């Protein structure tokens, strides 16, 4: 039995999809995302509007280009930041857990609990996740 993703997961999926979209994504393309798949037209429009509002509330500016292609203005929401080795390792683990459908969730939890950079980065290198 499949369950619909939570609102947070659905908005994050929309964010990731639009962030990497060049020149953007149409509504028809976005309907293929797990959070929208199978929704009736009215339900999709309502949900999509809520999710766009959630992104805007978070400070993310959406663009609508030619042919109704939605994308994210990369300059609108995040200044450049410096990320240390520990944070890079944790982000890498989180990304891989996400890609594998939480197969590595226990591993990510264990690595996140580690208190020093050496405890985090050594297992990451050994697993080949850097």
Q: Which of the two residues, 95 and 80, has the higher pLDDT score? A: 95
Contacts of 67 (CB under 8 A, 6+ apart): 26
Q: Do 48 and 25 meet the contact criterion of CB atoms below 8 Å apart?
A: no
Q: How far is CA 49 from the centre of its chain?
A: 18
Identify the pLDDT of residue 67: 83
The C-alpha atoms of residue 29 and residue 8 are separated, in whole angstroms, by: 20
The answer to whether 36 touches 44, Cβ cutoff 8 Å, is yes
Write down the pLDDT at residue 114. 56
Q: Which of 74-83, 96-105, 115-124 has the lowest mean pLDDT?
A: 115-124
Cα pseudo-dihedral 81, 118, 91, 9, rounded to 10: -130
Instruction: Specify the residue for token string 């050496």.
Output: 118
Q: Give the chain's mean pLDDT.
A: 78
pTM: 0.58
Q: What is the pLDDT of residues 103-128, one digit of tens each?
A: 444 554 555 555 444 444 444 444 44
Top-confidence range, 62-66, 72-76, 97-101, 123-127: 62-66
Helix intervals (H) in 5-104: 7-19, 27-30, 41-57, 85-99
Q: Which residue has the tokens 């929208």?
A: 36
Domain ranges of the chain: 7-76, 85-127
Q: Could you tell me the two tokens for 54? A: 């959630």
Residue 44 has pLDDT above 90, yes or no: yes
CATH topology for 7-76? Arc Repressor Mutant, subunit A (1.10.10)
Give the DSSP letter of residue 62. Answer: E
């Amino acid at each position: 039995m499949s369950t619909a993703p939570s609102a947070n997961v659905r908005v994050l999926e929309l964010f990731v999809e639009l962030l990497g979209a060049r020149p953007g994504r149409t509504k028809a393309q976005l309907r293929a995302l797990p959070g929208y798949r199978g929704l009736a037209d009215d339900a999709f429009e309502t949900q999509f509007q809520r999710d766009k509002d959630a992104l805007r509330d978070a400070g993310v500016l959406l663009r609508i280009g030619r042919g109704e292609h939605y994308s994210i203005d990369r300059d609108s929401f995040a200044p450049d930041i410096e990320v240390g080795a520990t944070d890079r390792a944790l982000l890498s683990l989180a990304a891989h857990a996400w890609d594998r459908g939480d197969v590595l969730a226990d591993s990510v939890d264990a690595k996140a609990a580690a208190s020093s950079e050496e405890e985090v980065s050594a297992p990451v290198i050994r697993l080949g996740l850097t």
